[in-house]
Amino acid sequence: MDSLEISFIEHGLVDVQSFNDTIEVDLKYSSTNNFMKKNLYGNLKKAYFQKEIAERLAKVQRFLSKKDSSLRLLIYDATRPRSVQWKMWRGLDTLPVNQRIKFVSNPRNGSIHNYGCAVDLTLCDAQGKALDMGEGYDDLRRIAYPMFEQEFLNSGALT
């Protein structure tokens, strides 16, 4: 078991897949497929949350499965250590603080990710392939902002 996992468990966090094993997990910060282009989580492969959050995600997955048995939740990020929050904060240091806080919470204040209460997710098919949502994970461009969705739909940049 990874030291990060041990720490999460010691702090009362739970593995979401222990509540619903059809939820898929692909932690982007356990790879280089993120805006930092670095593995920030080491060997962590499971998504840990406060118990109530894990229960709610399991409930969403059950609802989704009833609607369409081929759809799954795909979790990209869950509990995040404050040390990683600092690395992310510093990784965006070319952005002014008022822009930076749109992507990463100021680690001085903490983030709900730090407490096991936030999730970054998408939908995927039964084989774990993410559905097309118009842009990729950790996309910092305007196309990722919901407030500009109609503009990008009208231009054809989103379908």
* Residue that is written with structure tokens 């048995």 in the block: 69
At residue 129 the predicted structure's pLDDT band, cuts being 50, 70 and 90, is: very high
Q: For residue 139, is pLDDT > 90?
A: no
CA distance 58 to 23: 8
Q: Is 122 helix (H, G, I), strand (E, B) or coil?
A: strand
Triad 146, 112, 99: Cα angle to 5°: 45
Q: Looking at residue 46, what is its pLDDT?
A: 97
Which tens digit of pLDDT belongs to each residue from 31-55? 999 999 999 999 999 999 999 999 9
Which tens digit of pLDDT belongs to each residue from 11-24? 999 999 999 999 99
Are 26 and 77 spatial neighbours (Cβ–Cβ below 8 Å)? Answer: no
* Structure-token pair, residue 18: 């222990």
